[in-house]
């Protein structure tokens, strides 16, 4: 969790009153007061999301609108992804890169129209992201941060049945497809996406309307409110990066195992985005470290910061995320190691409270993704 400077007051999301009514245990996170858990507790909320459906307040995240002629080409000067080739009504995961090819932030890019995009960025990075995008904005394009919008995620195997009842047709959207719907009179931007590895949606609407929308969803027996604690264990089991932990301004997408977000024609030094030279070089010459999934052999939990050692006891890396995986039924972790140790099945040691524990490099995700890809 992000540290909080106690001299600055915490911001609240438009769902603060709802969190209080639901008994949310509030903690500081990225400058916001956010629920870490509700009455079910982290373990119960995690399992509920995997078995039924969970509702997450993610209104602290940054949302922004970008529009104007050449908007896709502009985004391709900041991100290594294929934005020009993205269909209208489809969304893609990408990153903002710095001149050294390090990751400024990871984000979701939704194409609303030929020249109009909706962006979703991390709460802790959004101020810098907005400044970065605005600083590079060409004349004729319009870029607007959208603090007027709130965001919730509905995740889990029952999400489609629930949302399909409120917004008929939502159950037929593909993974990473969007639609507009009126839910109980609330204008909602729906995307079939999320951060848990489960099928599900993210729903964006005006701040003033989000409580009505959240209450409509919570009225279903299958839906429980879920806090940041379970959000973290769910995304860790899904093998998804947490910005500021698993990726940061020093890690490249290649080191992070995110080469899949860069289409082949954009893997060259002259691809026209910051850090393209490093991307091309790392693809050609290899990297010095790679993000891998790690499964400790015993029950001891290796958390962020735990030292990774080779079987000979040499220090080779650090755990960037680690915890107990309720669905994996044991400890899980990810971290960076040299390529020689990055192969699936490679034995490692993890140092926890001064003791070395055997572990193994494993394929991620730790729990299979269940995204909806059509019938």
Partner 1 sequence: MANERYTEDHEWVRVEGDTAVCGISDYAQEQLGDVVFVELPEIGRVVSAKDEIAVVESVKAASDIYAPVSGEVVAVNSAVEEDPETVNRDALGKGWLFKIKLTDAAEAESLMDETSYEDYIAGLDE
Segment 279 to 298, residues that bind partner 1, using CB under 8 A: none
127's CB contacts (< 8 A; 6+ apart) are none
From candidates 326, 332, 335, 351, binder to partner 1 by CB under 8 A: 326
Residue 318 makes contact with partner 1 by CB under 8 A: no
C-alpha span between 206 and 69 (Å, rounded): 26
- Distance in Å, CB of 58 to partner 1, minimum: 20
What 3-state DSSP class applies to 300? coil
- Distance in Å, CB of 344 to partner 1, minimum: 25
Segment 166 to 225, residues that bind partner 1, using CB under 8 A: none
From candidates 270, 299, 345, 374, binder to partner 1 by CB under 8 A: 299
From candidates 323, 335, 349, 350, binder to partner 1 by CB under 8 A: 323
- First-last CA distance in the chain: 38
From candidates 101, 156, 229, 317, binder to partner 1 by CB under 8 A: 229
Residue 233 makes contact with partner 1 by CB under 8 A: yes
Cβ distance to partner 1 smaller for residue 45 or 105: 45
Cβ distance to partner 1 smaller for residue 90 or 303: 303
Cβ distance to partner 1 smaller for residue 37 or 177: 37
Strands (E), the chain: 25-29, 32-37, 53-57, 62-67, 91-97, 103-113, 116-121, 142-145, 149-155, 178-183, 186-191, 200-206, 223-225, 290-296, 307-309, 315-325, 330-337, 347-352, 355-362
What Å distances lie between residue 128 and 15, 54, 81, 96, 271, CA to CA? 24, 30, 20, 11, 24
Q: State the binding string over 28-57 for partner 1 (x if CB under 8 A, else -).
A: --------xx---xxxx-x-----------
Residue 334 makes contact with partner 1 by CB under 8 A: no
Residue 324 makes contact with partner 1 by CB under 8 A: yes
Rounded to the nearest 5°, which phi and psi values hold at 138? -75, 160
Binding site for partner 1 (CB under 8 A): 36-37, 41-44, 46, 229, 233, 299-301, 303, 323-324, 326, 331, 353
């Amino acid at each position: 969790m992000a540290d909080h400077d106690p001299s600055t007051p915490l911001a609240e999301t438009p769902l603060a009153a709802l969190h209080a009514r639901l008994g949310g245990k509030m903690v500081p996170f990225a400058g916001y007061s956010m629920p870490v858990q509700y009455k079910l507790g982290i373990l119960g909320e995690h399992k509920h999301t995997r078995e039924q459906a969970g509702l997450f307040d993610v209104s602290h995240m940054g949302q922004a609108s970008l529009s104007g002629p050449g908007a896709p080409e502009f985004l391709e000067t900041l991100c290594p992804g294929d934005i020009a080739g993205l269909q209208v009504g489809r969304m893609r995961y990408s990153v903002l890169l710095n001149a050294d090819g390090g990751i400024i932030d990871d984000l979701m890019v939704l194409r609303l129209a030929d020249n109009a995009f909706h962006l979703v960025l991390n709460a802790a990075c959004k101020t810098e992201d907005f400044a970065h995008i605005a600083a590079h904005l060409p004349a004729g394009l319009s870029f607007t941060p959208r603090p007027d919008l709130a965001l919730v995620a509905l995740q889990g195997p029952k999400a489609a049945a629930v949302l399909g009842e409120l917004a008929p047709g939502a159950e037929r959207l593909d993974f990473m497809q969007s639609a507009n719907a009126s839910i109980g009179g609330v204008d909602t931007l729906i995307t079939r996406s999320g951060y848990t590895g489960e099928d599900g949606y993210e729903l964006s609407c005006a701040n003033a309307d989000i409580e009505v929308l959240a209450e409509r969803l919570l009225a279903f027996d299958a839906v429980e409110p879920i806090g940041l604690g379970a959000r973290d264990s769910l995304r860790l089991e899904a093998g998804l990066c947490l910005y500021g932990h698993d990726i940061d301004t020093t890690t490249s997408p290649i080191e992070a195992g995110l080469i899949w977000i860069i289409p082949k024609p954009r893997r060259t030094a002259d691809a026209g985005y910051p850090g393209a030279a490093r991307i091309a070089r790392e693809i050609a010459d290899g990297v010095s470290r790679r993000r891998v999934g790690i499964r400790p052999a015993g029950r001891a939990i290796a958390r962020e910061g735990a030292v990774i050692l080779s079987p000979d006891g040499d220090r080779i890396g650090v755990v960037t995320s680690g915890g107990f995986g309720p669905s994996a039924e044991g400890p899980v972790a990810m971290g960076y190691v040299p390529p020689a140790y990055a192969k699936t099945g490679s034995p490692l040691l993890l140092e926890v409270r001064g003791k070395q524990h055997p572990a193994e490099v494993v394929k991620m995700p730790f729990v299979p993704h269940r995204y909806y890809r059509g019938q």
